[in-house]
């Protein structure tokens, strides 16, 4: 069970760069009219222009894993979709040993095989804990841009959903009495709206690449 281990938000001794980024994921309310603009600014600030976000879902109920790749233009939509799914709080817990290395190119690699994603939902009142592996690649330090993320990769392994018992005021695995059992809140930690975003990326991402190539070809032909 994950629940007892979720009390620590960020373990000490982990990568300063990783902690720095994870601490920026908001745990507060953002004005609705500024929501999209905030996430666009967030992604522009901390993700490289050539950044890729990889999501690999390993579901025990499915014989095959699901892989999704999002380019820089779709990254804001991915993070925003969590909080548009009635999630009031989201944080990551660093549980396993963190490993860091620096490539000859100057890229900084961060890896942890035992991470926990915790999301707290409003409707119904629930907490979802998802075990995953994390790999982040940071660009070399730049005096203007600082370190930025080139690669963000999550391999989702397992998930547990806990529902608030209004009598004991504690989270429990089972639905409270009187609550009609329904489909899981998430797909291995990914809310339904986030899954829709990932599915749409399979259509939009190739289109983004074609548009980028078209612009590059057009610029080259004008020279």
Note whether residue 95 is domain-resident. yes
Q: pLDDT grade, residue 46 (50/70/90)?
A: confident
> Taking 70 as the threshold, does the pLDDT of residue 177 lie above it?
no
> Taking 70 as the threshold, does the pLDDT of residue 147 lie above it?
yes
User: Between 128 and 39, where is the model more confident?
Assistant: 128
Distance, CA of 220 to CA of 127 (rounded, Å): 52
Distance, CA of 90 to CA of 51 (rounded, Å): 22
How many domains would you assign to the chain? 1
Surface-to-core class of residue 29, CB atoms within 10 Å of its CB (0-12 exposed, 13-18 middle, 19+ buried)? exposed
Note whether residue 178 is domain-resident. yes
Note whether residue 89 is domain-resident. yes
- CA-based radius of gyration for the chain: 19
> Taking 70 as the threshold, does the pLDDT of residue 161 lie above it?
yes
Note whether residue 109 is domain-resident. yes
Q: What's the whole-number mean pLDDT along residues 2-25?
A: 43
Note whether residue 220 is domain-resident. no
Give me the pLDDT at residue 25, please.
Answer: 56
Note whether residue 219 is domain-resident. no
Note whether residue 221 is domain-resident. no
> What's the mean per-residue pLDDT of the chain?
79
DSSP state, residue 211: H
DSSP state, residue 168: T
Domain range holding 115? 3-214
Note whether residue 222 is domain-resident. no
DSSP collapsed to 3 states, 98-121: EEEEECCCCCEEEEEEEEEEEEEE
Please write the tens of the pLDDT for every residue from 196-212.
Answer: 999 998 888 777 666 65
CATH of residue 191: 3.10.450.50
Q: What is the pTM of this model?
A: 0.76
């Amino acid at each position: 069970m994950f629940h007892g281990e979720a009390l620590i938000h960020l373990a000490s001794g982990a990568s300063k760069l990783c902690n720095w980024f994870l601490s920026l994921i908001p745990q507060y309310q953002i004005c609705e009219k500024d929501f999209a603009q905030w996430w666009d600014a967030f992604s522009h600030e901390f993700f490289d222009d050539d950044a890729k976000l990889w999501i690999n879902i390993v579901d025990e109920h499915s014989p095959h894993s699901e892989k999704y790749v999002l380019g820089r233009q779709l990254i804001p939509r991915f993070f925003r979709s969590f909080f548009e799914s009635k999630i009031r709080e989201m944080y990551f817990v660093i549980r396993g040993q963190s490993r860091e290395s620096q490539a000859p190119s100057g890229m900084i690699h961060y890896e942890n095989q035992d991470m926990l994603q915790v999301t707290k939902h409003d409707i119904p009142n629930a907490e979802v804990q998802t075990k995953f592996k994390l790999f982040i690649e940071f660009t070399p330090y730049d005096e203007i841009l600082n370190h930025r993320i080139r690669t963000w990769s999550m391999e989702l392994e397992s998930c547990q959903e806990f529902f608030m018992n209004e009598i004991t005021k504690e989270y429990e695995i089972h639905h409270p009495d009187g609550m009609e059992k329904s489909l899981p809140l998430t797909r291995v930690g990914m809310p339904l709206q986030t899954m829709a975003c990932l599915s749409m990326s399979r259509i939009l991402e190739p289109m983004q690449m074609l548009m980028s190539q078209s612009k590059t070809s057009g610029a080259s032909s004008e020279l």
